[in-house]
Amino acid sequence: MRGLTLFALLALAGAAHADGWHAGLNLRVDQGSHPIRAGGGVELGRHDFTLVLDPMAWTDGQHDLDALGYYKLSTAGWSLLYGWRTTAIALADGHQFQEKFLLGFGAPLPFFGTLPLRAWWSFELASLVVKHGAGLPREWISFDSGRDFIDLLNFGMFVTFEYEKY
């Protein structure tokens, strides 16, 4: 209940507004994707759109591509995170693609100084929606039993350090 109250208060605090672009590093602590990724995007009013690429694909044949959106709920920067992740995994008969829906929240981290840099913290829930490719049967998320879908949900946390231009 406290979480819902806090979320409602943040949503009512007012909208943040800025337009510009940003690019930098996405550093992750979860095991669901590579720990270092590169991203960039644009901020348009209350919306921030980011594309995150995986430069570490050469290490194990797995590549993640994230299309993220943030919707700012307050002037402090608290945001709703939403997006889509496509993971390509190299297998013997080609690549298997795993499509995941992302939902979470994020907030700016304090940054000291006048440099055009920003730090951002985010928490996400990634839900596998479908697996396909590599000659394997298409597999959709199933709710037949808890075991069917609980393994397809992953929590992740990451920070981004980016150059920003407004």
pLDDT above 90 for 162? yes
Nearest Cα to Cα of residue 80 among 98, 104, 99: 104
pTM of the complete model: 0.82
Kindly report, residue by residue over 20-32, the tens digit of the pLDDT.
999 999 999 877 6
**Which CATH number applies to 2-165?**
2.40.160
**Closest alpha carbon to 86 in 104, 67, 72, 73:** 67
Query: How buried is 84 (Cβ within 10 angstroms: 0-12 exposed, 13-18 middle, 19+ buried)?
Result: middle
